[in-house]
Structure 1
Amino acid sequence: MLTFAAAVFFLIITPGPGVLSTAGVGAAFGAAAGTRYVAGLFVGTNLVCLAVVSGLTAALLADDRLRTLLFIASVSYLAWLAFRIAFAGSRIAFIERASPPGIGGGIVLQAINPKAYAVNTALFTGFSFWPGNYAAEIALKFLIVNAIWIPIHFAWLWLGISLQRMNLPERAQRAINIAMALSMMIVVALAAWSQS
């Protein structure tokens, strides 16, 4: 079980679309909007977990055409998001919008986030620690994942809010945007590669 918890921590804390966009929403819109966005990500990630555990993901991805279509849609959206982050200018902000993405935005991001599927597939199909009781193991895994997921995402939200408050020079803010965009694309590429 400790190995599972360690895997959860390291797989979730690595920069991906969820945590990077959380920092961006915090930087652009503050704590209240960031908290609503994290709530959406929370619902979305648990829906992804349910899709993986129930076999729905495997059934959908069994059709090569549908898998290719979903892959192209996910990577296109996340590449667009990374582009917007990289070229947000000299202000740390992920999306220049009049309003924050909210709960719905968080749910949608997780639904198309290939890292979410790759991580949850690895966690829920591997790391068996209670082979005699599959239902209890899955329930315990949900508890462990969420107990680690929540503070990590709030730490990234705090990081985004803190970066904005630092009032860094324009070059530093631009460099942070580019580094976050590159990190997002690297993690997305790795997640997509692991799925293939």
Structure 2
Amino acid sequence: MSHELFLSLVAFAFVSAMTPGPNNTMLLASGVNFGFFRTRAHILGVVIGFTVLLLAIALGVGRLLVLVPGLYSVLRIISVAYLLWLAWRIGTAGATDPIASEDARPMTFLEAALFQWVNPKGWMVCLSIAANYITPDNLWADIATLATVITIVSTVSASSWAFFGTSLRPLLKDERSMRIFNVVMAVALVASLWPIVKEMI
């Protein structure tokens, strides 16, 4: 991979990772509700899950979607349903410390990692990266470079959003403020689905 292409990859990965989307919205909400320490598994799940998704697409899963377009439609339906459930879960969360109900907990590593497979933004980013930054002549070297860059950038992004959420905790001490924040985050998560729903209708 040339120096110019590498810089382009880093810039694309950074912008894609840092801009608002389902992952970042949930990490922000988790940071507010549970703090950075308890959100670590969620962060790790996003980083590892997204890197694995990228590697799978780079190695041929993306080609399967091209050959069987119906699979992508199924993926989008599952994605919308799951994100709506997550939005409801965030919107109905209580105040921080103590946790308002037994059901309120941070997303686990496995949940966060598996979520990447139904995350529409994640699929679009991975497909774009695989299409633009992998060449047949340097397949394995390019894939190794992509995996390294994505892992580093995802770690920085996920940690930053969770830390930002944690920094807001002192401003959201009472039940009313926390509920308003959670509803806003739930609405933001639902709003992120509009581009997908628009294509489906």
Specify if TM > 0.5: yes
Q: Is residue 2:137 matched to residue 1:137?
A: no
Determine whether 1:102 maps to 2:113: no
Which residue identity lines up with residue 42 of structure 2 in the other structure? Y
After TM superposition, the score normalised by the length of structure 2 is 0.79
Aligned to 2:39, the other structure's residue is in SS state helix
**Aligned-pair CA distance for 1:107:** 1.2
| AA at the equivalent of 1:121 | L
Aligned residue pairs total: 193
Q: CA deviation at 1:13?
A: 0.8
Alpha-carbon RMSD across the aligned residues, in angstroms, is 3.1
Q: 3-state DSSP class of the match of 1:133? A: helix
Q: Which digits, 9 at most, give the CA deviation of each residue in 1:169-188, with x for residues without a partner?
A: 66654554344334333434
Q: Residue 101 of structure 1: CA displacement? A: 2.2
Q: Deviations over 1:49-95 (max 9, x none)?
A: 1221011133156324433222211111112222333454677x9x9
Find 1:67's aligned residue among 56, 72, 97. 72
Quick one: structure 1 residues 28 and 176, their matched pair in 2 at CA, closer, same or farther if it must change by over 3 Å? Answer: closer
User: 2:163 matched to 1:164?
Assistant: no
Aligned to 1:8: 13
Q: 2:85 aligns with which of 80, 83, 88?
A: 80
3-state secondary structure, aligned to 1:30: helix
Counterpart code for 1:139: A
* Deviation larger for 118-127 or 63-72: 63-72
Alpha-carbon distance change, 193 to 56 in structure 1, aligned in 2, over 3 angstroms:
farther
Distance verdict in 2 for CA 1:50–1:131, change over 3 Å: closer
- % same residue: 28
For residues 175 and 100 of structure 1, do their structure 2 counterparts lie closer, same or farther at Cα, with a shift above 3 Å needed? closer
Picking from 142, 146, 151, the partner of 2:151 is 146
For the 8 Å contact 1:88–1:96, the answer to whether it is kept is no
Deviations 1:119-168 (A, max 9, x none): 1111221146x775232122112211222111111111111111122236
Match of 2:124 in 1: 118
TM-score (norm 1): 0.80
Gaps of at least 5 residues in structure 1 are none
1:96 CA drift (Å): 7.8
State the secondary structure of the residue aligned to 1:97: coil
Q: Distance in 2 between matches of 1:47 and 1:151?
A: 17
The change in CA–CA distance for 1:56 and 1:41 in structure 2 (over 3 A counts) is: same
